Structure 1
Amino acid sequence: MGFSAQWLALREPADQKARDPALLTRAVAAAGPAPVILDLGCGTGSTVRALAPHLPETARWHLVDNDPLLLDQASAEAPGRVQVHELDLAQLDALPLEGVTLVTASALLDLMPAAWIEDLAAILAAAGLPFYAALSYDGIMSWEPALPKDHDVTRAFNDHQRSDKGLGPALGPDAGTVAATIFRAAGFNVQQAISPWRIAAEAVPLHRALVEGIADAAGQAGQPMAAEWGRARAGMASESRCLIGHLDLLALPPRTA
């Protein structure tokens, strides 16, 4: 389970625009006046870049990933205020929670199984920590102009998203709603908001990389027309628009709800 720095850089502008601003503001408030933020699956530091403009300059970060090359890039985001941790996210009991005031994740929950989210919710409930998870894919795709195979490819892609990413069958497009249920059951006050990507015709590199990835995953899931669909969509990238649905989640423990 992992993504290249090139793909993360391509998607970041769409991610930053998509985040629900009201929920981001509430997450910042939940971090408190002296924020210490633990970011799970940090990649190159996208969450730091999204939240830092809204936080005091003294905010400190613990960044967790299993890719040392991505961690090297992320460590430069807030020199002197970032500590990186090369950890497998299966090792939730090894998370550096001491002193942390907010736990975050971006584009992560849809890669995880329900059991992992249940374990995380239990750990954060015991620690009394809020959790802000942005940009969980929700299974919605729409394209302008439409093609006859759009629905079939989306269905196959969603099936692929539910496959095992290393920790068990992933929740894929069900992650946002299932995570909300899990955190509520653990006693959290849960707030959600939609955060769709809206990719315009001028975002050609992102559009082409996106359809290439969708077509590849849909093909692996058994959709025989996926490659043909991907070539058609890539050829139309400079004239097309698309919406890719996501959900943001903020879970506040009882003492901060």
Structure 2
Amino acid sequence: METIESAGYSPAWLGLREPADAQARSAELVAEVRRLLTGAARTEVHDLGCGTGSMGRWLAPQLPGVQHWVLHDRDRELLRHAEARMAPAAADGAPVTATVRRDDVTALTVDDLAGADLVTASALLDLLTADEVDRLAATVRAVACPALLTLTVVGEVRFDPADPLDGELTAAFNDHQRRHSAGRPLLGPSAVEVATEAFTRHGATVLVRPSPWRLGPDQAELTERWLDGWIAAAYEQRPELAARPGGYRRRRLAAAAAGELGATVEHRDILVVPG
């Protein structure tokens, strides 16, 4: 629901979702990243739209060797959180350091990513436009390093138990994700397809793997918070859905709060390997 411009990611929300993000991301692609970086004496990682730094906390301890992370975001508060809470050590105990840069991740240049051995991002591509993704693909090609881009939504949600209105709410939410924001046509659920085509066109090999959120009774608070935003976005896109009889929002939120609703929210992880 959030956009790059509004920076609607609070530290509380990002902290709530961090365990689910970590569990969802593709271990297979991390293994491939380790193979690509084998033998490096020092690895510099540029994390785009870093938020509170969850990608670094998750990935740095899985990679060996000395690492320096450059954390890019527009939000000063999030950057402070990210810098203060960076993982201290790599998989083999080597030191991990971090610096922050407050900048616009939709317009990064080759100079901004100079020195990068790996580019990372999480839950970012669906908030970009096709032109912004193409610029990112061209920039990563020029830097000639791999990129691990995780947790991009693909517009598929399954609930347990299901409800007859789930399909209409999903379609409305997906339309909302593809809306124009400050004149920018967001990719939303089209992002994986568009990004794959763009990076491939710029000479890279692209590996795509599933990274689903699986929300259940043990994540009732996250399920409720995510569902509340999901329904609100769908209703904003199609207000007539809120007027339907039966109280969909009330029923579904009550079930989520009680730990009686499960949801699988499909995402995809992308690993870009330079040609």
Q: TM over 0.5: same fold? A: yes
Q: Does the residue aligned with 1:236 lie in a helix, a strand or coil?
A: helix
Partner residue of 2:197? Answer: 181
Instruction: Decide whether the 8 Å contact of 1:112 with 1:165 is kept in 2.
Output: no
Partner residue of 1:249? Answer: 270
Instruction: Decide whether the 8 Å contact of 2:107 with 2:132 is kept in 1.
Output: no
Q: TM-score, normalised by structure 1?
A: 0.93
> Structure 1 residues 174-183 or 65-74, which shifts more?
174-183
Distance change (3 Å), C-alpha of 1:144 and 1:78: closer
Partner residue of 2:117? Answer: 101
Partner residue of 1:26? Answer: 32
Partner residue of 1:47? Answer: 55
How many residues are matched? 254
Instruction: Decide whether the 8 Å contact of 1:111 with 1:171 is kept in 2.
Output: yes
CA offsets, 1:152-207, max 9 Å, x none? 00000000011134571111011112111111111001101000000112211101
Instruction: Decide whether the 8 Å contact of 2:43 with 2:65 is kept in 1.
Output: no
CA offsets, 1:208-256, max 9 Å, x none? 10111001110111142348423221111111111000000001111xx
Shift of 1:98: 2.1
Partner residue of 1:72? Answer: 80
1 or 2 for the larger relative contact order (CA 8 Å, sep ≥6)? Answer: 1
In structure 2, C-alpha distance between the alignment counterparts of 1:111 and 1:172, rounded to whole Å: 6
2:163 is the alignment partner of 1:143: no
Instruction: Decide whether the 8 Å contact of 1:65 with 1:71 is kept in 2.
Output: yes
CA offsets, 1:94-138, max 9 Å, x none? 763222100010000011111101011111112212111000001
Instruction: Decide whether the 8 Å contact of 2:25 with 2:211 is kept in 1.
Output: yes
Distance change (3 Å), C-alpha of 1:112 and 1:31: farther
Instruction: Decide whether the 8 Å contact of 2:116 with 2:143 is kept in 1.
Output: no
In structure 1, C-alpha distance between the alignment counterparts of 2:197 and 2:80, rounded to whole Å: 35
Q: Work out which of the residue numbers 230, 240, 250 in structure 2 matches 1:231.
A: 250
In structure 2, C-alpha distance between the alignment counterparts of 1:169 and 1:204, rounded to whole Å: 33
Q: Work out which of the residue numbers 40, 44, 47 in structure 2 matches 1:36.
A: 44
Q: 1:85-234 maps to which residues of 2 (within 5 A)? A: 85-93=101-109, 96-166=112-182, 168-226=184-242, 228-234=247-253
Q: Does the residue aligned with 2:233 lie in a helix, a strand or coil?
A: helix
Moved over 6 A (4+): none
Instruction: Decide whether the 8 Å contact of 1:105 with 1:132 is kept in 2.
Output: yes
Partner residue of 1:83? Answer: 99
Shift of 1:53: 1.4
Distance change (3 Å), C-alpha of 1:206 and 1:252: same
In structure 1, C-alpha distance between the alignment counterparts of 2:60 and 2:110, rounded to whole Å: 25
> Structure 1 residues 132-141 or 97-106, which shifts more?
97-106
Q: 1:50-61 maps to which residues of 2 (within 5 A)? A: 50-56=58-64, 58-61=66-69
Structure 2: runs of 5 or more not aligned? 89-95
CA RMSD of aligned residues (A): 1.7
Instruction: Decide whether the 8 Å contact of 1:63 with 1:84 is kept in 2.
Output: yes
In structure 2, C-alpha distance between the alignment counterparts of 1:253 and 1:117, rounded to whole Å: 16
Structure 1: runs of 5 or more not aligned? none
Q: TM-score, normalised by structure 2?
A: 0.88
In structure 1, C-alpha distance between the alignment counterparts of 2:180 and 2:66, rounded to whole Å: 39
Instruction: Decide whether the 8 Å contact of 1:39 with 1:64 is kept in 2.
Output: yes
Q: Does the residue aligned with 2:51 lie in a helix, a strand or coil?
A: coil
Equivalent position amino acid for 1:104 in 2 = T
Q: Does the residue aligned with 2:116 lie in a helix, a strand or coil?
A: coil
Partner residue of 2:93? Answer: none
